[in-house]
Amino acid sequence: MTIQEVTEGMYALGNAWEQFKQVNDTRLLEIERKGSADSLHDGHLARINDALDQHKHRMDRLETVNARPAREMKSLGYSGEEQSEYKAAFNAYLRKGSESGLEQIQSKALSVGTDANGGYMVPNQLADLIVQIVNESSPMRSLASVETISSDSLDLIEDPTDTGAAWGDETTVRSAETTSPTLGRNTIDTFEMYAQPQATQKLIDDSSVDIERWIATKVADKMARLEATAFIGGDGTTQPKGILTYTAGTSFGQIEQITSGTSAVITADGLVRLYFGLKDEYARNATFLMHRTSVQAVRLLKDTTNQYIWQPGLAAGTPNTLMGVPVALAADMPIPAAASLSVAVGDFKRAYLIVDRIGIRTLRDPFTSKPFVKFYTTKRVGGEAVNTDAIKLLRLAV
């Protein structure tokens, strides 16, 4: 990323935001004077909204590519020369279906073997690439906590109550017992998701094609979309439990829903109540999460001092903010509608835990869809809200 690209991006984004404010101010002035505004203003605002999103996406993408570090190889039983041997053998397996090299190397490292259901553990570089693309594609992965495990579930100890305490001087008899915490156990299960890209044998045989990267890109795109949907609205039975599927309330295990005062419309007052519904310790590291359509509506809002509550992040890598709080986009959050849960805010690092089972496996299948070769790839992941007090949802009025 060059200085010129950064400068041009900042200028384009800042200029688009100033144009947006001017057009919207004109629209509001017409409504105040005439009771309505020219419909051309709506079209103009929509175009500028799109331009704002495009400029910001381009700047953040440049920042991501520029700052992306070389990924360290996590050991799955191999190191050094064995890792290179396994990568070469796995590539031969993808292209030709040859398993001899993999079996020989696996006999040296018992921690990495053939999956009971068939297939082989993908090399570390390929697994890292898949996870990297998923991380960059799914906003919940970048916001939440992530734990990698070697089993199919993670057990957590929950302590929803406080230990009792009392004041007393040196002569006060400590006869009364204080309350004790009530401990509970929560198990976060992992669920299997799969992708099955296919290619012709001719494409696979072409030595100029990086077959590993091709598979990683295809697999990661599918898995990223599945994950993102589940972390927002998953049922918790066959997939991770999403933040929108918890019972409304303020008790442990429930997520509080703050009602917006206007039917199907996000209001500035509603957003203020939503954010200030968080405790201070969670508000300090909070992020707003919403659909792109909601962002476009929020850009129109002003506070009581007639200042816009949304501000663009003009520097590369700097998030857009709402009332000074970062804003993240999630395509699976509901668009504004009556009774929709269109906005979430919280300290997602403390609120939601994603659990990855270590290892991604691929099974080569050249038989079921000839002349295509299928690459059946599986990954196990789970997720739940582990601190429901650290997140709030905005429910739009009916």
The DSSP result for 350-366, as a single string, is HHEEEEEES--EEEEE-
- pLDDT tens-digit readout, 242-256: 999 999 999 989 999
Residue 275 maps to a domain = no
Residue 17 maps to a domain = yes
- pLDDT tens-digit readout, 296-320: 999 999 988 899 999 988 766 678 9
| Contact (CB, 8 A) for 101 and 92 | yes
Residue 194 maps to a domain = no
**The tokens of 59 are what?**
């700047």
Residue 206 maps to a domain = no
Name the one residue in this structure whose structure tokens are 């799109």. Answer: 50
Residue 32 maps to a domain = yes
| Strand ranges for 159-254 from DSSP E | 184-189, 191-195, 198-200
Nearest to 356 by CA among 216, 215, 189: 189
Residue 57 maps to a domain = yes
Q: Give the chain's domain count.
A: 1
User: What pLDDT, on the 0 to 100 scale, is given for residue 187?
Assistant: 92
**The tokens of 294 are what?**
């909601």
Residue 158 maps to a domain = no
| Contact (CB, 8 A) for 320 and 313 | yes
User: What pLDDT, on the 0 to 100 scale, is given for residue 234?
Assistant: 96
| Contact (CB, 8 A) for 391 and 348 | yes
| Contact (CB, 8 A) for 289 and 343 | yes
Residue 44 maps to a domain = yes
User: What pLDDT, on the 0 to 100 scale, is given for residue 179?
Assistant: 65
**pLDDT digit string (tens) for the chain, length 398 residues:** 555 665 666 677 788 888 888 888 898 888 888 887 888 888 888 888 888 877 777 766 655 555 544 444 343 444 555 567 777 777 787 887 777 656 555 544 433 344 444 567 777 777 777 877 777 677 899 899 999 998 899 998 776 665 667 777 777 666 666 666 666 778 999 999 998 988 888 888 887 778 888 888 888 888 888 999 999 999 999 999 999 999 999 998 999 999 988 889 999 999 999 999 999 999 999 999 999 999 999 999 998 889 999 998 876 667 899 999 999 999 999 999 999 999 999 999 999 999 999 888 888 898 888 888 898 999 999 999 999 999 999 999 98
Nearest to 89 by CA among 80, 79, 81, 99: 99
Mean pLDDT of the chain: 82
| Contact (CB, 8 A) for 129 and 87 | no
**The tokens of 125 are what?**
């570089």
Domain coverage including residue 39: 3-67
